[in-house]
Amino acid sequence: MDDCVSKVHEEIKNILSDYKSSQNLCDIIKDALTSSGKMLRTKLLISISLMGDGEISKKVISQAAAVEITHLASLIHDDIIDDSTLRRSHKSTQAKYGKDVAVFAGDYMIAKVFSYLANENLYDEIKVIADTIKHMCNGEVGQNLIKYRLDMGEDEYFENISGKTASFFKTVCYFGARNAGFGQMDTERMVAFGENLGLMFQLKDDLLDLFSNKLITGKEEFSDIREGIYTYPVLLGLKDEDYGEEIHRILLENKERKLGEDELISLRRLLIKSKADTLTALKIRDLADENRFILASIDDKDVMYLEKILEKVENS
């Protein structure tokens, strides 16, 4: 696995190699790559691909590199929208170089991905990644259109995060299943596995934003609340019979003015009292159980790597 991930890293550098023609762009891309994550999507794609003949082809490496660059570009753009100053404990691209430059850097990465895939004759991958971007944008737009709304339902919340967060997970699972030679039914199961994993990932992020601190997360606390984005734990808290009314009052104030630190801490305490954190953790466990059932239904396949990824996301 480590050797395959290293090959993906090298391919990412190869795809973006001509940035060296401009020193300014070179510095920006290098910084962005430094703050790239743990390559979870790459590991997921490789793990499923290995369930075929056990070999990882150049095509798999190309798919993983294309997804990682596209995802990184989406994070650069996301930080612009959220005005985030930190990305995984590093200064975000927009904070370091400005919003305009960050837009162009993200656009450049996406353009390079499509150019690269065309040169590699990976035309199906172009369509799938384009559709992934479409679903991601739909989710982001949906989320932005309901900012500060206190009547949002859980179905609407999950529809938005299925697009904005889970879409890349679904894509790599689809690629992996096709690489492994799965039939339609098992491919659909793997895509469902990816969607559940993406939802779990987002719910974990929701918890970290509300109940952790930036020394752990590498990002500002309460960033979603400040932006008027009310995530799953908040929706649960609003429904609580004992504390929902007070949570509602604080969030009404949030729409009118910037909440102070003391008010945000009070909101956190109310959410804990309403057991919103515990109930969100239970939802994550339910999604994990669904995924364990999916893995058990895949006949004659070694799912060890997928079990490890699932366990890591569930318990991180």
- For the chain, give every domain's residue range: 1-121, 161-315
pLDDT for the residue numbered 137: 94
Residues 6+ apart with CB under 8 A from 16: 29, 33, 69, 109, 112
Distance separating alpha carbons of residues 135 and 140, to the nearest angstrom = 9
- Read off the pLDDT of each residue in 227-241 and give the average, rounded to a whole number: 96
The DSSP-derived string for 228-276 is: T---HHHHHHHT-TTTHHHHHHHHHHHHHSPPPHHHHHHHHHHHHHTTH
1-121, CATH topology level: Farnesyl Diphosphate Synthase (1.10.600)
At the top level of CATH, which class does the domain 161-315 belong to? mainly alpha
Residues 6+ apart with CB under 8 A from 150: 230, 238, 248, 251, 252
The whole-chain average pLDDT of the chain stands at 91
pTM metric for this prediction = 0.92
pLDDT for the residue numbered 218: 64
Q: Which of 5-19, 54-68, 126-140 has the lowest mean pLDDT?
A: 5-19
- Is a pLDDT exceeding 90 seen at residue 17? no
- List for the chain the helix, strand, coil content (%; round to 5): 75, 0, 20
pLDDT for the residue numbered 22: 60
Domains 1-121 and 161-315 fall in the same CATH topology: yes
- Is a pLDDT exceeding 70 seen at residue 136? yes
Which helix (DSSP H) or strand (DSSP E) does residue 43 occupy?
A: helix 40-49
- Is a pLDDT exceeding 70 seen at residue 132? yes
- Read off the pLDDT of each residue in 51-75 and give the average, rounded to a whole number: 93
Instruction: Count the alpha carbons within 13 Å of 10 in the hemisphere toward its beta carbon.
Output: 8
| Lookup: tokens for 236 | 């649960």
Q: 153-166 pLDDT, tens per residue?
A: 999 999 999 999 99
Q: How confident is the model at residue 18 (pLDDT cuts 50, 70, 90)?
A: low
Distance separating alpha carbons of residues 237 and 154, to the nearest angstrom = 12
Q: How far is CA 232 from the centre of its chain?
A: 16
Share of the chain above pLDDT 70, in %: 94
Q: For residue 86, what are the β-bridge partners? A: 91
